[in-house]
Amino acid sequence: MSRTDEEIKRYETKMKSCTTMTDLLVAMSSWQSYAQSHNLSTEEKRMVDEAYLKAEERLITAVKPSLW
């Protein structure tokens, strides 16, 4: 596994483990900076981006009942 693959996996795990929207937004900002600075392709970014979307959905769903 290359260093880039290891970092991608680390960011994916980080997204999945976020427990607050703030944590998730900070993780996404960090990920975007990493992806941009390493010129990652759309395919290379796909796994982490999908993990972000799932984590966002999970966190929004967890908060939604408290809004009503």
Per residue in 5-60, pLDDT (tens digit) is 999 999 999 999 999 999 999 999 999 999 999 999 999 999 999 999 999 999 98
Residue 68's pLDDT band, with cuts at 50, 70 and 90, is low
What tokens were used for 50?
A: 């999908």
Report the distance separating Cα 14 and Cα 29, nearest Å.
Answer: 12
Report the distance separating Cα 48 and Cα 8, nearest Å.
Answer: 7
Question: At CA 58, angle to CA 6 and CA 46, rounded to 5?
Answer: 35
Residue 4 contacts residue 39 (beta carbons within 8 Å)? no
What pLDDT score does 63 carry? 73
Give domain limits for the chain. Answer: 3-62
What pLDDT score does 1 carry? 82
